[in-house]
Amino acid sequence: MSQARAKNKTLAAVLAAIGGSMGLHRFYLYGLGDTVAWLFPIPSALGWWGVERMRDLGQDDMLSWALIPLLGATLAVGCLMAVIYALTPAERWNARHNPQLPQDDPAGRSHGLTVVVLVFAMLAGTIAFMGSLSFGVQKVFEYQIESARTSGPT
């Protein structure tokens, strides 16, 4: 029986920050059999489809309003996972993802790149979350105003 490779905390955080919306961090940590990892690309693809619909059909496409926040949510979740991974103490990381290794193994340690990934993930996750939230709320208010205009005074 071959020994499993150590799961590096910084690499998991990088994968979550950059490819978290596609589930890359989960594939790295849990393998290709991870059901949750296979679910990540679905809302991401729907969100990208919403972006494409808006580019083709304009800002009045109501389906785009519903789809684009899905992309923002998956991007924000990926960045949140990167933050969680980066802030996890080495002992806890190794106990969970590298139980075959000593608790102080270097795979779970933080270093300069971990901090850079943490800062990037916090910035990108905030932008993704706030951007999709503000987009969705703006479209709901615009729809309500337009609906009130067309129905006229009662």
Which single residue is written with the structure tokens 């971990």? 114
Banded pLDDT at 3 (limits 50, 70, 90)? low
Q: Estimate the crossing angle of helix 62-87 against helix 112-151, to 10 degrees.
A: 160
CA distance 10 to 115: 9
Question: In one letter, which amino acid is 35?
Answer: T
86 CB-side CA count, 13 A = 23
Which residue ranges make up each domain of the chain?
9-151
* Span 5-25, pLDDT tens digits: 899 999 999 999 999 999 999
Among residues of the chain, what percentage have pLDDT more than 70?
95
Summary count for the chain: helices (H), strands (E): 7, 0
Banded pLDDT at 52 (limits 50, 70, 90)? very high
pTM score of the predicted model: 0.83
CA distance 137 to 99: 45
Question: In one letter, which amino acid is 63?
Answer: L
Spell out the SS3 assignment of 67-122.
Answer: HHHHHHHHHHHHHHHHHHHHHCCHHHHHHHHCCCCCCCCHHHCCCHHHHHHHHHHH
